[in-house]
Every structure is written in structure tokens, then in C-alpha cells.
Chain A
């Protein structure tokens, strides 16, 4: 009787698990291995023949300066992300004190990340278009000679994109930090106050150490975000004028140039890079905590 019941139970569990597991394997696990397999071929995505080419895809990506440029672009997004952390942190701390109109400022910060990436991109395409709002603004304050093709000039376009990225993502970091700052025990502030700490000392000695876990997590997210920037350059410049990012390049290689094999190896590389960076950061952070 008992074993019968357990058998039935097992069957039931099996039934429930079958569909999710099938989906997981078909769309989650199998593609990873397929991708690794493709990365060693020169497959074009359609042809039934997949010619094995060994490591030549990888060698090409890691030696050709055209393909390496994307890493430099990632660096710009990384720096933008860093600035974003500083801004978000500053306002999170500021808005944790008694400020008038606190909720208004909080809403203002968070608002940009509620808009869809597409809408943001459209908005800024207008804003930065020649003779657009930004140029008018510059004219207004007498900087007419500094206007340029913000979204066309290869010398500035990446910085423009970085700026938009800051505007768009600061809200997310802000929410994280704001929550974290609220969690620092009130007594720690009181202690610092009695001992005579200045504003900066309170930030440095109490708040920053108190929210270090959130800072670390945000740093990892930022690194991954910088490597996988995609929608902004796609919509605003379509990767032209040196605004190609790693993911955008991968997609274009696969679906426009029909070089699936090459694109697959790019995907493998970016996954490995992200994995490595996360592992390194984990290690560093762990060391700090065990101290």
C-alpha cells in the first residue's frame, strides 16, 4: 500500500517535472553545447554542412583590431557605469537625510529606468540630432562652436552613448543604494555624531563599509552590463562610426553577415570573460571579508 502510494507520488512528480525539464534542456542547456560546437565551425546558419575549422574563429576575433575595438567600447560603458555608481550613491546618501521634497527627487531618479529602452533611444535621437534640443541648449549658453554630430562623429559618439547610459541606469543603482543606506543601523550614525565625525567621515567610516555588499554586487552587475550593452547602440547608431559593442557585433555577424560559426565563438568568448571577471571579483571580495 505504502510503496504503491510512493510509486504514484513519483509518477506525479515525474509528470510535473517533465515539461519544465524538457524546456530547460531544449532552450537552456542544449543551446550552450550547440553554441560551443558551432564556434569551431564556419557554419552560415542555414547550410546543412558545418565545416570544422578548429580554433581559427577564436584566433580571428582575438587578433583582428576591428573585432578588438569592441572591448575598448566596453571600457567606455564601464567608466560610464562607474560614474553612475558615484552619482547614485551621492544622491542615495543625500536623500537619506532630512530633505524637503524627498519623494519628488526619488521619483525623478527612478523614472528613467521605467521607460523602455526603445523610447529612451528615440528620445535621445531627437535630443542629440543636429540642430536638436542639445545644440539649442549649447547655443543658449554661448557654446555654439562646440556643437557637433553627437551621434555621428566617431570621436564623440561613444561618449554620447555613455552619457545616455548613465541617464538611463542611475535610477536602478539609486534604488539599491537607497535601500542599503536605510539598512545601516541608526546607532552607527549616532555614534559617529557623538564622536564628532564630519559628513565625509560619516560617509567613509560608517555608510560605505555598511553598504559594501551592495556596492560589490552592483560592481559585478556593472561589469556584465558594460560587456553586454546592446539596445542603445543598436537603435541610435546601429553600430556604425565605431559604436559597435560585443553583443551587437555578435548579432550582426550571425544574422547580417551569416557567419554563425564566428558569432558563436564571440558569444563563447564574452561568456568566458564575464565568468572570469565574476570569479575574480568574488575571490577579491571574499578575501576582504575573511580578513
Chain B
């Protein structure tokens, strides 16, 4: 297994003025599972194309185990890819699909059999080896694709949205399985997805991409608790972060132009516009004590152990999380306390999180 270094990797397609990927810097450690997440058009697929060698870099360099792969043919880069639609060859049996690459590389029959058996055992595909992919379920097909990537023992596994063609339940199973596989093989994996939950549950580290640029790199909890900018804060976490407009005052902050909250120390620049971001678990409905504002309940989503309360204050809608049963119903006016200790402040102009600078 190997480590991968991205050194100011940039890609601009000839037909396009803007960069598909710009100054992508990343150091992937041996055996790490990196999830690259971003909305469509963020440059995730471009990144994979560049690593595989289907596209050439505009500038920068990619190193695997310290060696530049820029001038290497795709087959010599020692990477294996798992595709979103599995890319199983329909006319071949599961066995032949797993053995596909080895047959091309003319490995001996004995070696092929050993490796296929090993991979099939690990992924519980033994009883399907003689079946054609058409007869398999989505999850099984994906396992075959994984097995095919595994038998190569590549330095780097690339996974291009491998779970997005599966239904929700299978997706959970498969993501666990991939995670398990990652641990068992001690493999370096680069996993691309647009699904932030997948990213949060699987990754050692998450890379958040938007419009070709890295927004933030960090562990799932870092990303969730310390989003670097507004994009990251909004992209990660469901329900998405609630935002209030606010301004700095001498004594504290002015929320939504009228509620002044006095803080111990001055966090915000005076008369400058900010967005205050709070996760739903940090917005509480209270009956007594400190109350920041009163809002109207628009909708309650009952999720079992917890409920999501969609609230409206003037023009501002936000979401609170409540545990256990909720006694309120639609249309009720409720008292809200904001847990300002946990608040993020984003500069209206730069969209950066200024909290890091304050503390």
C-alpha cells in the first residue's frame, strides 16, 4: 500500500475558462481512507480522472510513494477503480470478472484462482462465482467490483460514488463492509461521493471540495464542529445549519436587527454584518430561564428518539432538535434559547468562519 501526495494539482479543460480543479494540495497517508465530498461540478470526478491518467494535469504533480505518476500509463500507476455503475462485464461470470485484470496481465491460472478464491471468500461471493452479473443484486454486484479491485492489491483504491446506485439499507451495509475491508486490507483509499452522511460515517479524513477548490480538510468531527466557512457549514450536517443575520455591537451582538444579546466579551466587529450559524441541537425550546426569541412552530418531523422542529421568526426560518416526545404542535409560539457558546460567526462578505480567530 502507498501514500499519495497531491502537489498543487490543477486542471483546466481546453473548452472551459475556469479551473475544474485548482491548487489541490493533499497528503494521503499509507492506509488512510480519505473521502472527497462535494456537490456535482465540484471537481471530484476530475480528480479521479487525473489520478487514473484519463486526463492530464494542467499544472502540479501527483506522487504515489514518492514517485510522480504524471508520465505513467494508466496501467502502470498501480491504482484500482470501483465505478459507480460497477462496470461489470455482462458476458463474463463473476469469476471471470474478478479475474479480468489478471487475465489481461497474463498471470498464471493458479495465481488467478488463488486470488479470486481469496477475494470471493472475503466478500462472501463464493457461491456466485459461476453466475453472470445480470443475476446478482446491486449489493452483490458492487462486491464483485470490489473484489476485482482487491485482487490487484493496488497502492491506491479509487472509489467513484460506489454506493449511490444502491437503496438506503444496502448502502448502510455496504459502507460498513467497505470500511471493514479497508481495515482488513490496510488499504489506502480515496473515496468520492456527494453524500455527506457517507463521508461522515466512513472517512478517516474528509476533503470538502467546491468549484474545484478545497474548502476544508479534516476529521469528520473537526469538519462538523469547526467548519472553516459557510459552505462547509451548510454542506455538512442534516438538518443543515440554521443561520441568523447579526451585527456586532458594543455590548454583544444584534440578532435579526432587533434582539440584542449581551456577551461577556466582544466577539464581533462593531457594525459589521455576520451570519450566526447554529446546529439544530444547540437551539433549545425552553419554558423558563434565559429566552432569546419567540418563534412560531411551522412543522414537526417526528423521527422516533428525536424530533426536528421547523421554526419561523420573522423572515428567518431555522431548525431545532428536541429529544423524547414533543408537546408542541404546528402554529404554537415557543420560547427559544440559543446556545451561543457553540455558535459560528460567518463574515457576510468573505463567508469565512471568524470564530477561529476569536478564540
Listed in ascending order, the chain A residues whose CB lies under 8 Å from chain B are: 185, 187-188, 190-197, 201, 205-206, 209, 212, 291
Contact = CB atoms under 8 A, between A and B. Distances in A.
Contact of B87 (A187, A196, A205): A187
A187 B97 CA distance: 14
Q: What is the interface residue range for chain B against chain A? A: 20 to 34
Contacts of A209: 89-92
A197 B90 CA distance: 18
Given A190-B52, A209-B91, A212-B91, A196 B85 contact: no
Contacts of A190: 52, 54, 81, 83, 87
Contacts of B54: 190, 193
Contacts of B84: 187
Interface string B86-117: 01011110000000110011000000000000
9 contacts: A187-B84, A187-B87, A190-B83, A191-B87, A194-B74, A196-B74, A196-B76, A205-B89, A206-B89
B104 A191 contact: no
Interface in B255-290: none
Contacts of B101: 194-196
Decide if the interface of chain B is mainly helix, strand, loop or mixed: loop
B79 interface: yes
B351 interface: no
B52 A205 contact: no
Nearest to B73: A196
B52 A194 contact: yes
B356 to A, nearest CB: 41
Contacts of A201: 104
A285 B301 CA distance: 55
Contacts of B53: 193
A195 B83 contact: no
B80 interface: yes
B75 interface: yes
Contacts of B92: 209
Contact of B85 (A185, A192, A291): A185
A194 B79 contact: yes
A185 B84 CA distance: 12
Contacts, number: 57
A205 B90 CA distance: 11
Contact of B81 (A194, A196, A197): A194
List 5 A-B pairs, minimum CB-CB distance, nearest first: A196-B75, A195-B101, A187-B87, A209-B91, A187-B83
Given A195-B104, A196-B74, A212-B91, 14 more contacts: A190-B81, A190-B87, A191-B83, A193-B52, A193-B74, A194-B74, A194-B75, A195-B105, A195-B152, A197-B75, A197-B104, A201-B104, A205-B89, A205-B100
Contact of B100 (A185, A187, A191, A193): A191
Contacts of A196: 73-76, 101, 104-105
A273 B205 CA distance: 68
A195 B75 contact: yes
Given A193-B54, A194-B74, A194-B75, A187 B105 contact: no
B216 to A, nearest CB: 30
Interface in B41-91: 52-54, 73-77, 79-81, 83-85, 87, 89-91
Contacts of A291: 132
Given A194-B75, A194-B80, A209-B91, A187 B85 contact: yes
A188 B80 CA distance: 13
Most chain B CB atoms below 10 A, which of A193, A201, A209, A212 = A193
Contacts of B100: 191, 195, 205
A268 B74 CA distance: 58
A192 B104 contact: yes
Contacts of A185: 85, 87
A190 B105 CA distance: 16
B104 A205 contact: yes
A66 to B, nearest CB: 46
Contacts of B83: 187, 190-191
B72 to A, nearest CB: 11
A69 B105 CA distance: 50
A140 to B, nearest CB: 44
A124 to B, nearest CB: 40
Contacts of A193: 52-54, 74-75
A201 to B, nearest CB: 6
Most chain A CB atoms below 10 A, which of B84, B89, B132 = B89
Nearest to B75: A196
A209 B83 CA distance: 20
Nearest to B79: A194
Contacts of B105: 195-196
B339 to A, nearest CB: 47
A114 to B, nearest CB: 33
A186 to B, nearest CB: 9
Contacts of A191: 81, 83, 87, 100
A209 B100 CA distance: 14
B240 to A, nearest CB: 32
B87 to A, nearest CB: 4
A191 B75 CA distance: 10
Nearest to A197: B104
Most chain B CB atoms below 10 A, which of A188, A194, A212 = A194
A188 B74 CA distance: 14
B23 to A, nearest CB: 26
A9 B80 CA distance: 64
A212 B85 CA distance: 21
A193 B81 CA distance: 11
